[in-house]
Structure 1
Amino acid sequence: MTSALVTGIGAVTPVGLTAPESWRNLLAGKSGIAPIEAFDASELPVRIAGEVKGFTPTGVDSKAARRMSRFAQFCVAAAHEAAEDAGLELTDEERPRAAVALATGAGGVLNTFLETENYIAKGPARVSPFFVPLMAPNMGACQVGMQLGLRGPTLASTAACASGLYSYIEAKALIESGLADVVLAGGAEAALHPVSVAGLANMKALSRNNEDPEGASRPFDRDRDGFVFGEGASVFVVESEERARKRGARVYAEIAGGALSSDAYHITAPRDDGSGAAQAMSSALDAAGMGPEAIDCISAHGTGTPLNDVSETLAIRIAFGGHADSVAISATKSMVGHLLGGAGAVGAMASVLAIAEGCVPPTINLENPDPECDLDYVPNEARDMTVNAAMVNGFGFGGQNGSVIFKRYEG
């Protein structure tokens, strides 16, 4: 059976408009959390977010960009960067075997808000004729396929905050089944709007530390009070081993395996005992044919909510047993916020680059350890270490859980 190899990386995040810039700033422990600039948030109880600032759509002309939602623009920009990074060139004969698997939590919901405002203020004649395709969650994946000429299967899973991880499981399956030789895989989100912020704030899910934005996202810290809303995307080029070797591609890592589970418990809260998340982690290890001791680091879901961080800690202890205390656990949400459907993709980028470069990003703002969160969370400083295998966790609203393992390619 062929292996699925990561050969290119692209990203648009609150700490960088490219993958290299994002990676440098993650290692430096730089926060991308700041007061909201996209709209007037003065009347909201939460006025901070992980915004992507200074972004200009790339890879498309201005007319095409106007017919894309912001999340789709992120997808296309990250996909173009990943393709360039991989040195990806496709012949016409290869395009039907080039696929897309790009996930999102909310898709073009931002356009739903904006066009509703148009309808109310200006009437039905002023609603964009492109509203429905702008809003549709499959359009990030479809736009990547159209812009890059990828004519194989196009998948667009949605699983709330676990969405991004589905794409890597799908990419591996497409390649192993022989349905594709190349897959552009990842996740994206752009849903920052007064209504979405208000809803999450009223749910008591968001940090209200408006006075200290950079210190607001504090996973596993005793003083955490919720997550910080973010936006962005990350995309990989995933190739079959045969294709990558034939063209002499640089390989960042191999997708070793992944698994999904459901809490079947609550629309927002995780199971208190962590059993659903532990099931995903244990099943991912089984799928990869690896034992817990093979994992060097975990990119945690690590939202910074009181319930999630304790539940994830318990889940890691269940899945990893005695090895749990030896695993380096990193929470990138401490720096970029919670990208919802893009969260797992950013965690995957950090994990793959940790394997490639031998350094694990820190969990910043971890200043007051929580006795119930008693593992090694790589506090405040990046750690130089050999990483042969890394797990990425994502646990979404509705109880959808995903864990994916990347490992060093030994071919």
Structure 2
Amino acid sequence: MSTRRIAITGIGLLTPGGIDTASTWHTVCSATPTAAIDPSLGDVPVPITCRVPDFDAKALLGRDVWRMDRFSHLALAAAHQAVADAGLDPTSWDGARVAVVVGVGTESRDSIFAASRKVLEHDHATVSPLTIPRSTSNAAAAEISIALHIHGPSLAVSTACASGATALGVARDLLIADRCDIAVAGGVEAPCHPLSSLGFSRMGALSSRLHDPRGASRPFDVDRDGFVLAEGAGLLVLERARDAAARRAPVRAYFSGYGASSDGHHYAAPHPTGLGIERAFTAALADADLSVTDIHHVNAHGTGTPMNDRVEGATLRRLFHGHPPAVTSAKGTTGHTLGAAGAIEAALGVLTLQHQAIPPTANLDRLDPDIDLDVVSKTPRPCRVDALTTNSYGFGGHNAVLVLERAP
């Protein structure tokens, strides 16, 4: 078991709630919505997004930012935060024993869209030679490995909106298999682009609450009508607990279980009975050697779409035999950061364990009567939380569930 006990020793967060961990936690705990009309989206039908505030990539990262798209900027800044928080020095570690795993839901829109426009205009000579290196899904992981002298496994994983959670699960597996001693892992997304907004709105996935953009993201509320597109990054430092103890590193929490499954049902809709969610959940508990009675809190996927919230709610009721623990969704505050969401919410789960307080779900004014859950709203709820799950699901039926436990 000593090789399976994985410690979380560092957190890096850049979210619509703030450009670091402390500001994000404060914003989420205050249930402050961050959604607003985004002028950069132009005349698309739903120009509402949640943006990372006051983010200056050049000030944070230096002169090399010109070669990266925004999602790599966010991921690299979060990685620097996480490594510093863990008390590690990339200039002195054995980079061959360090891994990086980054979940990304989609390729970057910025460079591809700019190049596509020039192709349509037959302006081939001015297409940037960096178009492909900037935009591919592995670009963020690559930039982190370059900047932090990482020479172990460097991976990009994509399971749609479960990508960040999947990346953490993959990193945990690498540590258990002794493929690395340290893993910098999490998720990133920078989807606030007209193409993304138009595509999701054409699917009917986005909230169209244009008269009240701050109230647009409202998980589990009876008046929810879709999610809000958001950007962000969450990176964690993972180590085997014995290695963290050997270097006397403070442990924020333990990552004790991971479960994944596929619905095999539909390209966008969850399985109506939540069977895929249930498989991932039970696998994560088995991996952690825990039962549902050990789980004191669920950080739900809770996107604010009518179907997702209803299916997730019913599944949690069934899993916990009619008595689910306190539930929250950060997306009322942050919006839906897609491939970054699972990692950002895992970081919030770590902070919940440390502070022994469950943050509220923003914009939850009236709980949908069809969702029979104890959803925390309005203010944080102080309570004992020894173990929790954070749940993530993605288009195509990807499901990932993480189990986190409080450090002594």
Normalized against structure 2, the TM-score is what?
0.96
Pick which of 119-128 and 336-345 moved more: 119-128
The 5 Å alignment of 1:250-265 reads 250-265=250-265
Amino acid of the structure 2 residue aligned with 1:77: A
What residue in structure 1 maps to residue 61 of structure 2? 60
Counterpart for residue 195 of structure 1:
195
The equivalent residue for 2:83 is 83
| Letter matched to residue 192 of structure 2 | L
Q: Does 1:157 align with 2:157?
A: yes
Deviation at 1:242, TM superposition (A): 2.3
Q: Distance in 2 between the 1:88 and 1:124 partners?
A: 45
| Contact kept? 1:263, 1:399, Cα under 8 Å | yes
* Cα distance in 2 for residues equivalent to 1:122 and 1:362: 51
* CA positional deviation for 1:305: 0.5
Tell me the residue number matched to 1:12. Answer: 14
Contact 1:59–1:76, Cα closer than 8 Å, also in 2: no
Q: CA deviation at 1:176?
A: 1.0
- 2:377, 2:136 → 1: CA distance? 39
The amino acid of 2:335's aligned partner reads G
Q: Map 1:256-405 onto structure 2 (within 5 A).
A: 256-324=256-324, 327-405=325-403
Q: CA deviation at 1:126?
A: 1.0
Residues 103 and 339 of structure 2 are in contact (CA less than 8 Å); yes or no, is this contact kept in structure 1? yes
In 2, Cα distance between equivalents of 1:238 and 1:297: 22
Offset, 1:276 = 1.2
SS at match of 2:157: coil
Distance of 2:41 and 2:107 partners within structure 1 = 23
| Post-superposition offset of 1:122 | 6.5
Which amino acid counterpart does residue 340 of structure 1 have in structure 2? Answer: L
Find the aligned partners of 2:314 and 2:23 in 1 and give their Cα distance.
33
Gaps of 5+ in 1: none
Q: What amino acid sits opposite 2:150 in the alignment?
A: L
Measure how far apart 1:107 and its partner are: 3.1
Contact 2:31 2:363 in 1 (8 A): no
Residue 113 of structure 1 deviates from its aligned partner by 1.5
Q: Partners of 1:169 and 1:40 in 2: how far apart?
A: 34
**TM-superposed deviation, 1:91:** 6.2
Please state if 1:177 is matched with 2:186. Answer: no
Superposed CA deviations along residues 338-364 of structure 1, whole A, max 9, x for unmatched, are 100001111111100000111111111
What secondary structure is seen at the aligned counterpart in 2 of 1:338?
Answer: coil
Q: How far did residue 121 of structure 1 move? A: 4.3
User: Which position in structure 1 is the counterpart of 2:405?
Assistant: 407
Q: Which amino acid aligns with 2:112?
A: T
Residue deviations 1:333-387 (CA, integer Å, cap 9, x gap)? 1111110000111111110000011111111111122111110110222111121
Equivalents in 2 of 1:244, 1:207: separation in Å?
43
Q: Is the 8 A contact 2:251 2:407 kept in 1?
A: yes
Task: Kindly indicate whether the alpha-carbon contact (under 8 Å) linking 2:91 and 2:149 is maintained by their aligned counterparts in 1.
Answer: no
Cα distance in 2, alignment partners of residues 59 and 53 from structure 1 = 13
| SS at structure 1 position matched to 2:143 | helix
Q: 1:19 to 1:118 in 2, by over 3 A?
A: farther
Instruction: Describe the shift of the 1:123–1:19 C-alpha distance in structure 2 as closer, same or farther (beyond 3 A).
Output: same
Which residue is equivalent to 2:237?
237
CA deviation vs aligned residue, 1:240-295 (integer Å, no higher than 9, x gap): 22221111111110111111111111111111111111111111111111000111
What SS does the aligned partner of 1:256 have?
Answer: strand
Query: What percent identity do the matched residue pairs reach?
Result: 38
Q: Which secondary structure state, in structure 1, belongs to the residue aligned with residue 321 of structure 2?
A: helix
Q: Which amino acid aligns with 1:102?
A: V
Q: Give the counterpart letter for 2:38 in structure 1.
A: I
Q: Could you tell which deviates more after superposition, 170-179 or 154-163?
A: 170-179
Q: What is the number of equivalent residue pairs in this alignment?
A: 405
Deviation, structure 1 residue 120: 3.1
SS at match of 1:321: coil
Q: Kindly indicate whether the alpha-carbon contact (under 8 Å) linking 2:14 and 2:74 is maintained by their aligned counterparts in 1.
A: yes
The whole-number CA distance in structure 2 between the counterparts of 1:252 and 1:65 is 31
SS of residue in 1 equivalent to 2:209: coil
Query: Are the aligned partners of 1:60 and 1:147 in contact in 2 as well (CA < 8 Å)?
Result: no
Query: Is it true that 1:50 corresponds to 2:47 in the alignment?
Result: no
C-alpha displacement of 1:90: 4.5
- Please report how far the alpha carbon of residue 312 of structure 1 lies from its aligned counterpart in structure 2 after TM superposition: 0.3
Q: Is the 8 A contact 2:7 2:252 kept in 1?
A: yes
CA distance in 2: counterparts of 1:295 and 1:231, whole angstroms: 29
Which one-letter code corresponds to 2:117 in the other structure? Answer: E
In the alignment, the residues of structure 2 paired with residue 320 and residue 260 of structure 1 have an alpha-carbon distance, to the nearest angstrom, of 19
Cα contact 2:303–2:331 (8 A) shared by 1: yes
Q: 1:85 to 1:310 in 2, by over 3 A?
A: same
Contact map agreement 1:10 1:19 (CA 8 A) in 2? yes
SS of the equivalent of 2:320 reads helix
Structure 1 counterpart of 2:62, one-letter code: D
Match of 2:37 among 32, 35, 39: 35
- 1:26 counterpart SS class: helix
Q: In structure 1, what residue type is equivalent to 2:337?
A: L
Residue identity opposite 2:125 in structure 1: A
**CA distance in structure 2 between the partners assigned to 1:173 and 1:391 by the alignment:** 18
Give the conservation status (yes or no) of the 8 Å contact 2:109–2:193.
Answer: no
CA separation of 1:94 and 1:40: change in aligned 2, threshold 3 A: closer
Q: Distance in 1 between matches of 2:117 and 2:326?
A: 46
CA distance in 2, matches of 1:8, 1:93: 15
Measure, in 1, the Cα distance between the counterparts of 2:273 and 2:41.
Answer: 40
TM-score, with normalisation over the residues of structure 1?
A: 0.96
**2:212 & 2:309 partners in 1: Cα distance?**
21
Distance across 2 between alignment mates of 1:121 and 1:8: 47
C-alpha distance in 1, partners of 2:147/2:308?
38
**Residue 93 of structure 1: CA displacement?**
6.2
